[in-house]
Structure 1
Amino acid sequence: MGHREDLLEGAKRCLLEKGFARTTARDIVKESGTNLASIGYHYGSKDALLAQAYIALVEQASDGFEGSEGGTEVGGEPGSPERFRAVFSNIVASMSEPGSMWGLGMEIMTMGDKLPEVRDQLARAQREGGRGMVALIMSVPEADVSDETADSLGAFYMTLITGLIAQWTFDAKSAPDAEQLTEGLRQVVEGVRKSQ
C-alpha cells in the first residue's frame, strides 16, 4: 500500500476508536505510519480524509450484506417486503455489533455547519448510498438506478436509515427492528391502496 491507502486505513481505525471530532491528524499519522504532509497532499485536509474514511466504512458495511463475496445472502423477491425485511435485518444486526460505525453518522450529521468543506462530499455519498439501497432491495446493478429514482426512492431509504441510526444512538433497546419496520411499510402500502 502507498501513503494514500495507509492514511485511509489509519483514518478508518481512528474513526472507529475515537470518532470524528476527537481524531487528530497526529492520531491518523501514528495509526497509518505516514507523515503529516501526506494528509494534505493526498486528501487536502484531515476532515476530508475522515469523511472519505467514513464513506469507506459505510461501503464496507454494505458490502457485508449484498450477497457478494463474503457477504450475507439477501433473501426475498426483488422489491418485496421480505427483501426489505432481509436488508433491514442486516442493517440492524450491523448496528448492534461492537465497534459499529453507524454512530459515526450521527456524530457527523450533528457537526453539519462545522464541516462545510466536506459537506458536499458527504451529500454525494448520501445520494450514492440511496442508489445502492435501491439496487440492493430491487436486486439490480447500481448503474441501472436512475438519478430520479436515487433522488426519490433512494432518498426515502436513506431517510429511514438515518432515523434508524438516530433511534439506535438514542436508545437501542426501544429502536425498531426489521420486523417492525416491515410491518410499518405494509401499513403504509395498505393505507395507500385503501385511499385509491
Structure 2
Amino acid sequence: MGHREDLLAGARRCLLEKGFVRTTARDVVKESGTNLASIGYHYGSKDALLAEAYISLIEELGDGFGAPPDDAGAGGSIERFEKVWGSIVRSFPQARGIWLLTLEFVTQGERLAGVRDIMVKAQEQGRAGLAALFLDLDEAALPRDVVDAEGRFYTTLLNGLMVQWLFDPGSATTAAQLTEGLRRVAERTSAAEGTRLVQP
C-alpha cells in the first residue's frame, strides 16, 4: 500500500477506537506509519481524511447488509421490505461504533465546511444504495426520481432506527413493527383516497 491507502486504513482504526473529535493528526500518523505532510498532500486536511475514512466504513457496512434471502420477495414488495430491514437491524450490534461515528459527523459537520460537502455527497450515494437494495435493482440504473423519493424515504427510516437502537436496543422498532406500520399507513391512505374519489 502507498501512503494514501495507509493513511485511510490508519484513520479508520483511529475512528473506531477514539471517534472523530478525539482523533488527532498525530494519532493517524502513528497508526498509519506515515507523516503529517502526507495527510495534507493526499487529503487536504485531517478532517477530510477522517470523513473519507468514515465513508469507507459506512460503505463496508452497507455491503455487509448483503442480499436478502431468496424468499425475500420481489423488489418493492412488503415481504422484501421486512426482510431487508431484518438484515439491517441484525447488523446494528456489530456496527455500533460506526453508528456512533455517524452521530459525531452529523453534529460536527456544520462547523467543518469541507467535511460537510464530503458527507452530503456520501449521503446521496447512500440513498441510491438503499433504494437499489429494497427495489432489487442495479444502483447505476436507478432513475433520479426513485433516488430522490424512495431513497430519501429509506434513508430517513434508517437514521431513525439507528438513533432508536443506539438509545435503547431493547425498545427499538423491529423490522416486523416497521413493516406493520407501513402496511397500516398504506391501507389508511388508500382508504382515504378512495373516500375522496367517491365524494360528489
Give the Cα separation in 2 of the matches to 1:98 and 1:165: 10
Give the Cα separation in 1 of the matches to 2:83 and 2:13: 28
Tell me which residue corresponds to 2:196: none
Tell me which residue corresponds to 1:124: 121
Q: CA deviation at 1:18?
A: 1.0
The one-letter code matched in structure 2 to 1:122 is M
Aligned length: 192
Preserved CA contact (<8 Å) 1:106 1:165:
no
Q: CA deviation at 1:99?
A: 5.2
Give 1:78's match in structure 2, choosing from 70, 75, 78. Answer: 75
Deviates more, 1:110-119 or 1:31-40: 110-119
Q: CA deviation at 1:154?
A: 0.6
Give the Cα separation in 2 of the matches to 1:147 and 1:120: 20
Tell me which residue corresponds to 2:110: 113
Residues 1:38 and 2:38 aligned together:
yes
Preserved CA contact (<8 Å) 1:29 1:35:
yes
**TM-score, normalised with respect to structure 1:** 0.91
Tell me which residue corresponds to 1:156: 153
Tell me which residue corresponds to 2:186: 189
Preserved CA contact (<8 Å) 1:4 1:38:
yes
Which consecutive residues of structure 1, in runs of 5 or more, have no partner in the other structure?
A: none
The one-letter code matched in structure 1 to 2:55 is I
Give the Cα separation in 2 of the matches to 1:98 and 1:120: 24
Preserved CA contact (<8 Å) 1:66 1:73:
no
Tell me which residue corresponds to 1:133: 130
Tell me which residue corresponds to 1:4: 4
The one-letter code matched in structure 2 to 1:162 is N
Q: CA deviation at 1:158?
A: 0.8
**TM-score, normalised with respect to structure 2:** 0.90
Give the Cα separation in 1 of the matches to 2:90 and 2:105: 21
Give the Cα separation in 2 of the matches to 1:9 and 1:91: 25
Q: Over aligned residues, Cα RMSD in angstroms?
A: 1.6
Q: CA deviation at 1:73?
A: 4.4
Preserved CA contact (<8 Å) 1:12 1:50:
yes
Give the Cα separation in 2 of the matches to 1:51 and 1:114: 13
How far does the alpha carbon of each residue in 1:100-148 deviate from its partner, in whole angstroms, 9 at most, with x for none?
4112111111223222211111011111101111111111111111222
Give the Cα separation in 2 of the matches to 1:98 and 1:62: 10
